[in-house]
Chain A
Amino acid sequence: MIVGLEHYLVVSALLFALGLLGVITRRNLIVIYMSLELMLNSANLALVSFSRFNDNLNGQVMVFFIITVAAAEVAVGLALIVALYRKRQSAHVEDLTSMKL
């Protein structure tokens, strides 16, 4: 059968789901963060495939922005995690419950 838009979308959706699952289940902040990257990438995939099949390149420009922003976010995020690790000697979410209720 012919590979169409849906196939790509399904793949991206699964990728999105994987990322989500990672965010929910993993405890290591860095891994969580990777999962988030995964989700962003799934969006990229969706955009690219759409832009391909709709024959419209705007989507790819969006992807470009997304990648850049993601990079920025990663930078800040990792810096933050590092700073936190310096204080707490841990990158575990369970250890980040000084504020609750």
Chain B
Amino acid sequence: MSILTFIFILPLLAAMALAFVPRNLAIVMRAAAVGVTFVTMLLGVLMFWQFNGAPADANGYRFVTTIPGLGAESLGIACKLGVDGLNVGLVLMGAIVAFAAACCSFEIKTREKEFYILLLTMTGGILGAFMSLDLFFFYFFHELALVPTFIMIGVWGRGEKKNYATFQITLYLSIGALLALIGLIALYLQLPTDSRTFDIPTLTQYFAEHTMAYSAQMFVFPLLLLGFGILVSLWPFHSWAALGYGSAPSATAMLHAGVLKKFGLYGLIRVAIPFCPEVARMHMQFLAWLALGNVLYVGWVAMRQKNLNLLIGNSSVAHMGMIFLGIASLNLIGVTGAVVIMVAHGFLAALTFGLSGYIYSQTGTLEMSELGGLAKKLRFVGVAFVMAAMAGCGLPGFLNFVGEVSVLFGAWQVNPLRGITVLAVWGALIIGAVYMLRAVRTVLHGELSAKWENLSDADLWRRLPHALLIASLLVFGFFPRLLTDKVKPVTEQIVKMATAKAPDSNGTVVLVENK
């Protein structure tokens, strides 16, 4: 029983409890959802705060705890929770975003009961996935959070392509998840029969001592890369994302794009790369090219979008590219940067989708051709949106900048990736700015058309979450070491594992040693 247990079990319990609340007490549901997520958030902040003080176990995990009963010890499955530098930030981010999402879901007016139950389930699943130290439950909780996503998009989604979007996201993500599952099982089977386990620390130790057979790596890593890649809308498997988020209710989009999506990246960093170092090294160049696909290509796609949500969705896909690039660089700076962006993008995506959701709830449309000059009416939203846009194109002061810069430096450190880095910079600096400013220009600036005369600016319950998200971005942006100092030791170890042996003949990574 540690703080982590409460963090992820609270929402789940609340979800169960809500099932017994009569459906006409919508207000109670809201209150419960907001209240619970708020408590969760406080716990998350507390956890983050105490992180350095808390005692770490042999593998550097803190707040480690196991939930009895769940799982099957005969298969080496146990619901073990814990955080280290790698996921502590994600958990915190998840908790904050969850609260924000709960606040933003006041716009839901139909079938609130189901909605809040699903929302809380999703929250619990997400947090569980990120803090579980057991590969099985890592996957288990992810799926648990995934299903509500589908249903929420299906039932409360918007837009005429809703159904198509729902099924597309469902199938895409299922394929990704299942591929990853096969990979994870194969990974698990690499251990000797008697000592098989899904326990991440144990696995880490094991593979640190004896590297996996090359053939096994050749089977496991591509699976994990592909599976996780699809989950993170790696190019060219990205087309579900923008459409899905475009059709999702804002809370769902916030939670999925912001938090749940990071599952794949987390898996790549935590599992795939350190456990299959040689093959991972072989694939990094390739991964970098795909990442470029995200940054540049999807960026261009985003430039063309007519619908605000699609634009935002594509932009969030494009940001994934930077993370992949950081991972591909496979060195301390790059990987740390990637982790930083993961956190930053979580806040950012939640922010943008929350805002667009508000605009939608006000205007009933997100077609940019219809909007314009809204900044005059929606002062707060306008300011927040501009900030979000600036954070989106990597403006200093926001956490995103820290991440992106580190990623760039990290990638630059790897000779073969320099060319790609240059293009990535172009994508991040120029193209990113182009579509973000275009959004600001068309939605907020310019003449305010007469039909929007009676829009009303966000009320407290809308300002609060957004202010919170911006604040988090700024705080970490001003003092990145709050995060990086926690992340660094872990990434150091992971990079050490990933570059354990000198790159083989066809390995592509040549590390620039720096004094």
Direct contact of A and B (CB under 8 A): no
Interface positions of B (Cβ within 8 A of A): none
Q: Which residues from chain A sit less than 8 Å from chain B, CB to CB?
A: none
